[in-house]
Amino acid sequence: MSQSVKKVVIPVAGLGTRGLPFTKEVPKELLPIIDTPTIHFIAEEVLAAGIEQVIFITSKGKHALEDYFDLSPNLENWLRKRGKEALADKVRQIGTFCEVISVRQKEPLGLGHAVYCARNIIGQEKFAVCLGDEIFPPWDKINQTQAPLRKLVDAAIELDTSTVGVVEIPIADSLSYGILDLGGKSLGENPAPVLRTVEKPKPEVAPSPYAIIGRYVFDSTLFDALKETKPGVGGEIQLTDAMDKLCANRKLHGVLLKGCRYDIGNPMFYMKAQIDAALRRPELSQRLRDYMKSL
């Protein structure tokens, strides 16, 4: 039984068409919440889960993401010479966050295919997968007590299984998510075996209110499942199709995540994230409140 999870795969090779025109030249994972890109929040969550290596599945034009986690000696020296020590320390800290490995996905053949591209680096270990669309802000108490990815890692190791993170959604929103079928069971503190996943069901046929939000821990049998997975919806190799093969062996468990989260791909969630972050910044909070009152 694998005792730890040391690697996370972060696929960033998609075309990001929902984020156009921003994503025409800039990866959506660099969208900032005030001054902090979403990938930074994800890296903090990854570190809190005890993970040390980040494997980006990249495509052309995504080098800014790798650069973000690199050292920037010129910038750092420039800041130090001008006495901006705190900023220089921050720049240095980001450059030493984690080890980054990049693997190219040469064609956008789907999320399942993107994860499959990491197989030679992962080998036989358990590994995590994180998508950049969702962030669990560090200022939320529940996220502080137990980072979402940490919860998935702990459950995967304890049960020797693969785990998928879900949140409870209003059933009317089921058309926007992959939904778990748990055979009618409710998810509480304990993980539950998944019978199958259903991609974007209509509310009247959604098997549960538990929606997949881009946090997973898999064992290497996922690669065997992905190898056999044919293109599905949209002609893409779908991760959920491979996950269904794990379900058949009762080797996938759903884990309920309860902390505050923002779906950055959704403009309303994105605006809320900006406002909530600004309200926590002493230099912005009061001025923002005054401005909102004045509207």
| 169 or 279: CB nearest ligand UTP | 169
Q: To which H or E segment does residue 218 belong?
A: strand 210-218
Q: Map the footprint of ligand UTP across residues 44-103, applying CB under 6 A.
A: 57
Cβ proximity to ligand UTP, 4 vs 176, nearer residue = 176
Q: How many residues in the shown chain lie near ligand UTP by CB under 6 A?
A: 19
Distance CA 144, CA 191 (A): 20
**Closest approach of ligand UTP to the CB of residue 107, in Å:** 7
Tokens encoding 69: 């986690």
Any bridge partners for residue 54, and if so which?
8, 100
Residue nearest to ligand UTP (CB): 14
Min dist. Cβ of residue 236 to ligand UTP (A)? 6
> Nearer Cβ to ligand UTP, position 7 or 113?
113
Please state the closest distance from residue 58 (CB atom) to ligand UTP, in A: 8
What's the rounded Cα separation, in Å, for the pair 281 and 289?
A: 12
Residue from 5, 7, 8, 11 touching ligand UTP (CB under 6 A): that is 11
Contact residues for 253 (Cβ-Cβ < 8 A; gap 6+): 155, 156, 159, 161, 162, 163, 164, 191, 192, 193, 194
Q: Closer to ligand UTP at the Cβ: 118 or 156?
A: 118
| Cα 206 to Cα 169: distance, rounded to the nearest angstrom | 11
| Interface positions, 92-121, toward ligand UTP (CB under 6 A) | 105, 108-111, 113-114
Closest Cα to residue 87, out of 99, 71, 75? 75
Burial (CB < 10 A; 0-12, 13-18, 19+), residue 217, is buried
Interface pick for ligand UTP out of 5, 8, 14, 263 (rule CB under 6 A): 14
Minimum CB separation of residue 108 from ligand UTP in Å reads 3
Q: Does 131 bind ligand UTP (CB under 6 A)?
A: yes
> Which residue ranges make up the site for ligand UTP (CB under 6 A)?
11-19, 57, 105, 108-111, 113-114, 131-132
